[in-house]
């Protein structure tokens, strides 16, 4: 088992922090990828936070009402593998992009 620390992501351009509104999981819960962990409130909107990994919730690093800065720990998971996780899906390209090399001709 490996520990994975999920930090508060940058939720919108220029925002530095968010307030924990509620947790929808508790320490000891098993969660799936993209399962809703909780909700935070920024100065602009309420945002639901999905799980970036599948695993066991080991530690919730803040309580409802706490202000968490971008980059600070939100949740520590115990995961079965060390593969990186993401929130949502990342499309994969069928072929790698072709590089184009330009030559500048100077006369």
pLDDT (tens place) for every residue of the chain, 107 residues total: 799 999 999 887 778 899 999 999 999 999 999 999 999 999 888 999 999 999 999 999 999 999 999 999 999 999 986 555 554 443 444 444 555 555 566 66
What span, in angstroms and rounded, lies between the C-alpha atoms of 30 and 14? 33
Helix (H) or strand (E) holding 65: none
Domain that holds residue 12: 2-79
pTM score, two decimals?
A: 0.73
Give the total number of structural domains in the chain. Answer: 1
Q: Please give the C-alpha separations between residue 28 and each of 40, 58, 60, 75, 99, in angstroms, as whole numbers.
A: 21, 6, 10, 12, 48
pLDDT of residue 90: 39
What span, in angstroms and rounded, lies between the C-alpha atoms of 53 and 30? 10
Q: Is residue 101 part of a domain?
A: no
Q: Is residue 35 part of a domain?
A: yes
44-46-47 Cα angle (round to 5): 110
């Amino acid at each position: 088992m490996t520990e994975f620390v999920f930090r508060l992501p940058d939720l919108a351009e220029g925002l530095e922090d968010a307030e924990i509104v509620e947790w929808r999981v508790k320490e000891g819960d098993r969660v799936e990828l993209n399962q809703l962990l909780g909700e935070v409130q920024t100065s602009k909107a309420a945002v639901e936070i999905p799980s970036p990994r599948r695993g066991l919730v080991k530690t919730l690093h803040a309580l409802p009402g706490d202000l968490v800065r971008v980059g600070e720990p939100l949740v520590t998971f115990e995961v079965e593998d060390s593969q990186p996780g993401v929130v949502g899906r990342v499309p994969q390209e069928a072929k790698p992009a072709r590089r184009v090399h330009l030559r500048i001709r100077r006369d």
